[in-house]
Amino acid sequence: MEAFRIYIKGIVQGVGFRAYTQRLGEKYALDGWVRNLPDGRVEVFVQGDRDVVWEFIKALSQGPPRARVDAIEVIKEVPRDEERGFSIRY
């Protein structure tokens, strides 16, 4: 299992990006969460099988129809036992 923290920059707030990310996380059976940041970026914590996580990140780079992803920063993290399911944090 691998875990990553991801920061997504662009037009990613107010366009359904968190709900899109949650659906993707559930579709790929990954654990983690997504939230908006005050600076306009979206932050994601995700963990699961390495290949599946990279497919998830690839799908995030496209985003929902009204979004525009300008940059993605991926940082390796330590997996967390307490993370189960995929949620939206506020």
Residue 18 designated active-site: yes
Instruction: Write out the chain in H/E/C secondary structure.
Output: CEEEEEEEEEECCCCCHHHHHHHHHHHCCCEEEEEECCCCCEEEEEEECHHHHHHHHHHHCCCCCCCEEEEEEEEEECCCCCCCCEEECC
Catalytic residue among 18, 50, 68, 80: 18
Catalytic residue among 23, 36, 66, 68: 36
Residue 50 designated active-site: no
Cβ atoms of 24 and 87 within 8 Å: the answer is no
Residues that are catalytic:
18, 36
